[in-house]
Each structure stands twice: as C-alpha cells, then as structure tokens.
Amino acid sequence: MTKLEVWTRFAESALNGVLVAKGNSISQESPVKTAARYADDMVKEWEKKKQQLEEERLAPYRE
C-alpha cells in the first residue's frame, strides 16, 4: 500500500468521523450542505497531500 493510499484511507475515516459528530449536533444549516462543505474541504486536503507525496517520491530523481 502506498503512502497516498494510506493517507486516503485516513482522510476517509476522518471525514466519516466528522460527519457522524456533526450529525449529532444541532446546526442552523442543512446537514447536506454541511456534509458537502466538509467533503469539499477534505478533497482539497487530499489533493494537497497527494501533491506533497508525489514531490517526495520524485525528489531523488531531481538531484
């Protein structure tokens, strides 16, 4: 399993935890909007992490 796969599984678990926790609280916003916003934020974090891991993987070849 690659670092990206491991991080993806972690991010998926973290997002599920956030959604469950958020589902147990009272919000003024629609739960669907809140879940979508959290999902969008997690996708952005995943993309940043993917880029970071790709740069780390390619770093030895740039020298």
Residue 47 within any structural domain of the chain: yes
pLDDT digits (tens, 9 = 90+) for 1-60: 677 777 777 777 777 777 676 666 655 667 667 777 777 887 888 889 889 988 998 888
pTM check: above 0.85:
no
CA atoms of 54 and 60, how far apart (whole Å): 11
What per-residue confidence (pLDDT) applies to 22?
63
What per-residue confidence (pLDDT) applies to 25?
60
Residue 43 within any structural domain of the chain: yes
Residue 26 within any structural domain of the chain: no
What per-residue confidence (pLDDT) applies to 44?
86
Residues 39/23, Cβ–Cβ less than 8 Å: no
Domain that holds residue 49: 1-6+31-63
Please state the domain count of the chain.
1
The three-class DSSP label of residue 24 is coil
Residue 2 within any structural domain of the chain: yes
Residue 11 within any structural domain of the chain: no
Residue 22 within any structural domain of the chain: no
